[in-house]
């Protein structure tokens, strides 16, 4: 049997895991949700939930992966035969997320190409008329998927790790530079104030629930991504420290992305409550009004592309490792399975902004339905099952023993972590699910 691949270095693993976490969730969703939910107060709640829920589940998932060194399906089955279905759920969810993620990846490529060629997207109808076209967005989506597939063909250390180790540091630098530019624009002050000043009157149950959903999505939890990435670690790795780093870096990127987007939106005389079109409609107005706006726009969409690619490959790798290991197919062949499936579902999702727009499921078009189904239903269910599995099937004692291996300073929080996994997480996740089903 082929020897299982491993990460080349600790830095490489962290960049890959942060690459998975840092994605459209941070740069596209976080600023617009914060914009809609009244700024500072939302950020405080988000950070609290990240520390409590996010960190706890990250550590649990990486521990499952490292203990079993197997794909998501075999990992659950390896600990207790019969529980592989939790992994299968994650594999299905990964397909669904990549499908709509690559549609957005295609839009990003389009915007990047327009800015890089010195063009402009300033007309108001640009976004809506582009996304509803029958052919062009589908082609850009396929290009995005092809880029991801090519990276995955080169494997764990030669593909995912190498690309993440280059793209992530560049993303940090570009994002910091753009945020600095944004906060120093004339008129940005009102935006900074809005962003940082907590307005607790805007905090409703729905806002808390959406913050929790955002924690799951942003940290790539609940569908086997971190199990898969953890499975390429060896037992000398310090997964406590690594989980802290991944959580902190992902949160920092979200907060800085808010600084890059919200003050700029205020400076251009816009408001930050436009929802999903903030990045594609509101922000281009900003690029029109500032000096060297096209260069800034190109840099911005390049960094969003890096974020999207490193997240999409993490989701596709869940699928690749499952098919590769279960059916003993070579990696170069296994990568075509997610490519073809996501190309098909992604095309349908893309067309649902245009010619398939009349098809609606639960009152949503196909694209919105896929996003809702994966993020609001499959993700929390996956997270809940993972916690229950760790708590009552694997047992928190075995999990803590695994976590302690390689942890240089031990795992002082073992008792608290076990308590969270056993009692707090399932209840919190159940609340989200009830809320979601109540809303359907
Ligand atoms: N975390 C990524 C983002 O913020 C998306 C993502 C990658 C993801 N892998 C995941 C979300 C696994 C949920 C589960 O955009």
pLDDT tens sequence across 396-405 = 999 999 999 9
Contact at 8 Å (CB) between 260 and 175? yes
What phi, psi does 235 have (nearest 5°)? Answer: -75, -5
Can you tell me the mean pLDDT for 145-172? 97
Which of 429, 325, 305 has the alpha carbon at shortest distance from 377?
429
How far apart, in whole angstroms, are the C-alpha atoms of residue 226 and residue 61?
A: 6
pLDDT at residue 348 in the model: 95
| 318-341 residue pLDDT tens | 999 999 999 999 999 999 999 999
Torsion of CA 240, 242, 244, 247, to 10 degrees: -140
pLDDT higher than 80, residue 75: yes
Report how far apart the first and last C-alpha atoms of the chain are (Å, whole number). 47
Average pLDDT over residues 183-210: 89
Distance CA(384)–CA(402), nearest Å, equals: 20
Check pLDDT > 80 for residue 238.
yes
Q: How far apart are CA 258 and CA 250, in angstroms?
A: 13
139-148, 197-206, 223-232, 342-351: least confident range: 197-206
33 vs 251: CA distance, rounded Å: 14
CB 386 within 8 A of CB 230: no
The band of 108, judged by pLDDT with boundaries at 50, 70 and 90, is: very high
- Whether 355 has a pLDDT exceeding 80, the answer reads yes
Give, using CA atoms, the residue closest to atom 9 of ligand 1.
Answer: 220
Residue 313, pLDDT above cutoff 90:
yes
Of the candidates 416, 391, 327, which has an alpha carbon nearest to the alpha carbon of residue 63? 391
User: If you average pLDDT over every residue of the chain, what do you get?
Assistant: 93
Tokens encoding 52: 């409590």
Ligand 1 mutation target, pool 215, 217, 385, most atoms within 8 A of CB: 217
CB crowding 270-306: b at 16 or more within 10 Å, else e: bebebeeebbbbbbbbbbeebeebbebbbbbbbbbbb
DSSP string, 16-82: HHHHHHSSHIIIIIHHHHHHHTTBHHHHHHHHHHIIIIIHHHHHHHHHHHHHH-S-HHHHHHHHSTT
Distance CA(345)–CA(340), nearest Å, equals 9
Q: What does the pLDDT average to over 162-179?
A: 96
Asked if residue 306 has pLDDT above 70, the reply is: yes
Residues with CB under 6 Å of ligand 1 are: 20-21, 23-26, 97, 217-218, 220, 222-223, 225, 311, 314-315, 379
Q: pLDDT tens-digit profile of 240-253?
A: 999 999 999 999 99
Q: Are 24 and 249 in contact (CB under 8 A)?
A: no
Short-list 187, 310, 179, CA closest to 257: 179
Local structure of 273: helix, strand or coil: coil
Best mutation site among 17, 21, 148 for ligand 1, i.e. most ligand atoms within 8 A of its Cβ?
A: 21
Mean per-residue pLDDT for 417-435?
91
pLDDT at 1: 47
Burial class (CB in 10 A: 0-12, 13-18, 19+), 168: buried
Interval 411-416 mean pLDDT: 95
How far, in Å, from the CA of 30 to the mean position of ligand 1?
13
**Res 439: pLDDT:** 63
- pTM (two decimals): 0.95
**Residue 161: its pLDDT value, please?**
98
Q: Which of 46, 14, 390, 13 is nearest to 217 (CA)?
A: 46
Distance 220 CA to ligand 1 centre (A): 4
Average pLDDT over every residue of 353-365: 91
The full DSSP string for 370-436 is: HHHIIIIIIHHHHHHHHHHIIIIIIIHHHHHHHHHTT-TT--TTHHHHHHIIIIIHHHHHHHHHHHH
Q: How much of the chain exceeds pLDDT 70, in percent?
A: 99
Alpha-carbon distance 211 to 215, whole Å?
A: 6
Q: To 10 degrees, what angle do helices 136-153 and 293-326 make?
A: 60
Sequence-distant (6+) residues with CB within 8 A of 341 are 95, 99
Strand partners, 364: 361
Q: Which two tokens stand for residue 61?
A: 């998932």
Summarize the confidence of residues 89-95 as an average pLDDT.
93
State the Cα–Cα distance between residues 108 and 102, nearest whole angstrom: 9
Tell me the per-residue pLDDT of 13-45, one tens digit each, with 9 for 90 and over.
999 999 999 999 999 999 988 888 878 899 999
CA-based angle 18:22:23, to the nearest 5?
A: 140
In ligand 1, the atom with minimum distance to the C-alpha of 20 is 7
- Which of 313, 314, 321, 376 has most ligand 1 atoms within 8 Å of CB, for mutation? 314
Nearest CA to ligand 1 atom 12: 220
- Number of neighbouring beta carbons within 10 Å of residue 409: 8
pLDDT at 440: 53
DSSP letter (8 states) at residue 231: T
Ligand 1 atom closest to the CA of 216, numbered from 1: 13
What is the Cα–Cα distance from 337 to 356, expressed in whole angstroms? 25
Q: 2: pLDDT confidence band, cut at 50, 70 and 90?
A: low
- State residue 246's pLDDT score: 97
């Amino acid at each position: 049997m082929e020897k299982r691949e491993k990460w080349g270095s600790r830095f490489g693993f962290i960049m890959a895991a942060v690459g998975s976490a840092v994605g459209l969730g941070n740069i596209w969703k976080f600023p617009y949700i914060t914009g809609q939910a009244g700024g500072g107060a939302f950020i405080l709640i988000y950070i609290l939930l990240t520390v409590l829920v996010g960190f706890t589940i990250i550590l649990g998932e990486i521990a499952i992966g490292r203990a079993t060194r197997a794909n998501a399906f075999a990992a659950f089955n390896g600990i207790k035969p019969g529980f592989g279905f939790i992994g299968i759920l994650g594999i299905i969810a990964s397909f669904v997320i990549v499908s709509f993620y690559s549609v957005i990846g295609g839009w990003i490529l389009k915007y990047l190409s327009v800015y890089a060629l010195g063009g402009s997207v300033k007309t108001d109808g640009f976004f809506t008329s582009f996304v509803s076209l029958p052919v062009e967005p589908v082609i850009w989506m396929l290009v995005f998927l092809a880029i991801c597939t090519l990276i995955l063909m080169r494997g764990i250390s030669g593909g995912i790790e190498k690309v993440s180790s280059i793209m992530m540091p560049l993303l940090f630098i570009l994002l910091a530079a753009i945020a600095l530019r944004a906060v120093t624009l004339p008129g940005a002050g009102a935006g900074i104030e809005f962003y940082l000043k907590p307005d607790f009157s805007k905090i409703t149950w729905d806002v808390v629930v959406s913050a929790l959903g955002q924690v799951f999505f942003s940290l790539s939890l609940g569908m086997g991504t971190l199990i898969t990435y953890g499975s390429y670690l060896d037992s000398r790795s310090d997964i406590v420290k690594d989980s802290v780093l991944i959580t902190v870096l992902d949160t920092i990127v979200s907060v800085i992305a808010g600084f890059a987007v919200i003050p700029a939106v205020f400076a251009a005389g816009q408001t930050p409550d436009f929802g999903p079109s903030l990045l594609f409609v509101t922000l281009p107005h900003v690029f029109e009004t500032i000096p060297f706006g096209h260069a800034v726009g190109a840099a911005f969409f390049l960094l969003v592309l890096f974020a999207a690619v490193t997240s999409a490959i993490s989701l596709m790798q869940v699928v690749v490792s499952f098919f590769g290991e279960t059916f003993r197919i070579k990696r170069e062949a296994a990568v075509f399975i997610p490519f073809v499936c996501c190309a098909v579902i992604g095309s349908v999702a893309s067309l649902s902004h245009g010619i398939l727009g009349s098809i609606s499921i639960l009152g949503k078009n196909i694209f919105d339905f896929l996003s809702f189904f994966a993020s609001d239903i499959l993700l929390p269910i996956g997270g809940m099952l993972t916690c229950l599995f760790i708590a009552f099937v694997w047992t928190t004692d075995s999990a803590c023993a695994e976590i302690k291996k390689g942890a240089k300073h031990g795992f002082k929080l073992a008792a608290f972590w076990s308590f969270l996994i056993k009692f707090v997480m399932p209840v919190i996740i159940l609340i989200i699910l009830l809320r979601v089903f109540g809303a359907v």
